[in-house]
Amino acid sequence: MPIEFADVPHPDEIARGDALRRHGLLLKPEGSLGKLEDLGAWIAACQGQSPPRPLKRMRVVVFAGDHGIAAKGVSAFQPAMTGQMLAALHDGGTALNVVADVAGAGLRVVDVAVDSDDEDEFKIRRGSGSIDSEDALTAEQAEAAVRVGMRVADAEVDAGADLLVPADLGVGVTTPSSTLVAALTGTEPVAVIGRGSGVDDNGWMRKCVVVRDALRRARPVLSDPVELLRAVGGADLAAMAGFLAQAAVRRTPVLIDGLPAAAAALVAEEFAPGARSWWLAAHRSTEPAQVLALDHLDLEPVLDLGIRLGTGAGASAALPLLSASVRLLSEMASFSQVSLPGPA
């Protein structure tokens, strides 16, 4: 059966307005908390109530996968690094483990395409194809990967998740991500290619050539998001796209991390128009393609810390701010409560 998403509901604008009005009554000059006020109002809109409930179950879901294009020298790391990073993530030794723990967020890892003998109930294949010369996936695998993301989103929401963060893990993932962004925004390769994992000038030029060749393969299938993921995406990116779209269908707010998540978000918006109203851009990456994707989605990043690491670390760094923005609305005193005159 073709992949179909239910209609995406709209966040509750009445609740958003009530939250912003409530800020005008709190013990502070009106508007003085800046973006924190907007963040809390966004959560109120997503929850459909003001003040919003405190965030109790924030979840980071890492979609891990290898990419055949990594063998073409587009990354500063060898493909085997994906498995090593996955092991470190399970052992608690990555930046994501630390930052998510500080934020109080739970972690889940979904191995959809790591090139290893490790088994996962959602594994689609071992690595995705080299997108400059072959399809990333078969049509059946592309559909299956999107459905994996949908199932994981449903499972997390059913378990009580009140905020989700999709994250990436895989050597070479910024290359198909850049290709998807270039294809869906009509941008030339040289304008989307960044340094990724830290490639030198030669690596950057190799990456440009690869994306140029992949774009030639992408353009004939631009009108079909599943076909686009099949041709130049990857199982991890397809799963993230399904996850993002389904989270919006399920009325659950999502923080967008770096370039791979932003690229998947562009595809997810094609799957489920209006889904972007349930997403917040956590931070501005150093990758130009991420900035292009966020601009295309009309999402303004909360943070700009110069982060180029993926794996959800940047989004996790924004979680405490989001939690604080919610609690301000429910716990901060108003002028009337302290018997002080309000604003003149």
Mean pLDDT over 308-312 rounds to 87
Mean pLDDT over 54-64 rounds to 98
Residue 118, pLDDT score: 87
Mean pLDDT over 168-175 rounds to 95
The backbone region for 89, taken as left when phi is positive above 0, alpha when psi lies in -120 to 50, beta otherwise, is alpha
User: Which residues participate in catalysis according to the annotation?
Assistant: 311
Residue 290 pLDDT grade (very low, low, confident, very high; cuts 50, 70, 90): very high
Q: Is residue 81 part of a domain?
A: yes
Instruction: Tell me how far apart the alpha carbons of residues 230 and 143 are, in angstroms, rounded to a whole number.
Output: 8
Q: String of b and e for 131-155 (b: at least 16 CB within 10 Å)?
A: bbeebbbeeebbbbbbbbbbbbbee
Residue 344 pLDDT grade (very low, low, confident, very high; cuts 50, 70, 90): low
Residue 203 has pLDDT above 90, yes or no: no
Instruction: Tell me how far apart the alpha carbons of residues 242 and 256 are, in angstroms, rounded to a whole number.
Output: 14
- AA identity, residue 81: M
Residue 249 pLDDT grade (very low, low, confident, very high; cuts 50, 70, 90): very high
At residue 218, the 3 state secondary structure works out as: helix
Instruction: Tell me how far apart the alpha carbons of residues 58 and 6 are, in angstroms, rounded to a whole number.
Output: 24
Q: Is residue 46 part of a domain?
A: no
Q: Is residue 316 part of a domain?
A: yes
Residue 297 pLDDT grade (very low, low, confident, very high; cuts 50, 70, 90): very high
Element (H, E) at 152: helix 139-158
- Residue numbers of the domain that contains 85: 58-321
**Residue 18 contacts residue 41 (beta carbons within 8 Å):** no
Residue 341 has pLDDT above 80, yes or no: no
Q: String of b and e for 87-115 (b: at least 16 CB within 10 Å)?
A: eebeeeebbbbebbeebebebbbbbbbbb
- AA identity, residue 236: D
Instruction: Tell me how far apart the alpha carbons of residues 226 and 196 are, in angstroms, rounded to a whole number.
Output: 25
Q: For residue range 277-287, list pLDDT tens digits in order.
A: 999 999 999 99
Mean pLDDT over 296-308 rounds to 95
Q: For residue range 106-131, list pLDDT tens digits in order.
A: 999 999 999 999 888 999 999 999 99
Residue 29 has pLDDT above 70, yes or no: yes
Residue 334 has pLDDT above 70, yes or no: yes
Residue 309, pLDDT score: 83
Structure-derived torsion over alpha carbons of residues 82, 87, 93, 96, reported in degrees to the nearest 10: 50
Residue 201, pLDDT score: 85
Instruction: Tell me how far apart the alpha carbons of residues 67 and 71 are, in angstroms, rounded to a whole number.
Output: 8
Q: Is residue 334 part of a domain?
A: no
Q: Which two tokens stand for residue 156?
A: 């997390």
CATH code for position 315: 3.40.50.10210
Q: Which two tokens stand for residue 170?
A: 């895989």
Residue 75, pLDDT score: 86
The number of domains in the chain is: 1
Residue 312 pLDDT grade (very low, low, confident, very high; cuts 50, 70, 90): very high
Give which of 184, 65, 71, 90 is closest to 131, Cα–Cα.
71
Residue 310 pLDDT grade (very low, low, confident, very high; cuts 50, 70, 90): confident
Residue 343 has pLDDT above 70, yes or no: no
Strand (E) positions, 194-323?
A: 254-256, 279-281
Q: Is residue 9 part of a domain?
A: no
Q: Is residue 128 part of a domain?
A: yes
Residue 76 pLDDT grade (very low, low, confident, very high; cuts 50, 70, 90): confident
Residue 69 has pLDDT above 90, yes or no: yes
Give which of 266, 246, 258 is closest to 181, Cα–Cα.
266
Q: Is residue 142 part of a domain?
A: yes
Give which of 114, 166, 138 is closest to 233, Cα–Cα.
138
In this structure, the number of other CB atoms found within 10 A of the CB of residue 293 comes to: 31
Higher per-residue confidence, 342 vs 30 = 30
**Residue 190 contacts residue 84 (beta carbons within 8 Å):** no
Residue 22 has pLDDT above 90, yes or no: yes
Q: Is residue 283 part of a domain?
A: yes
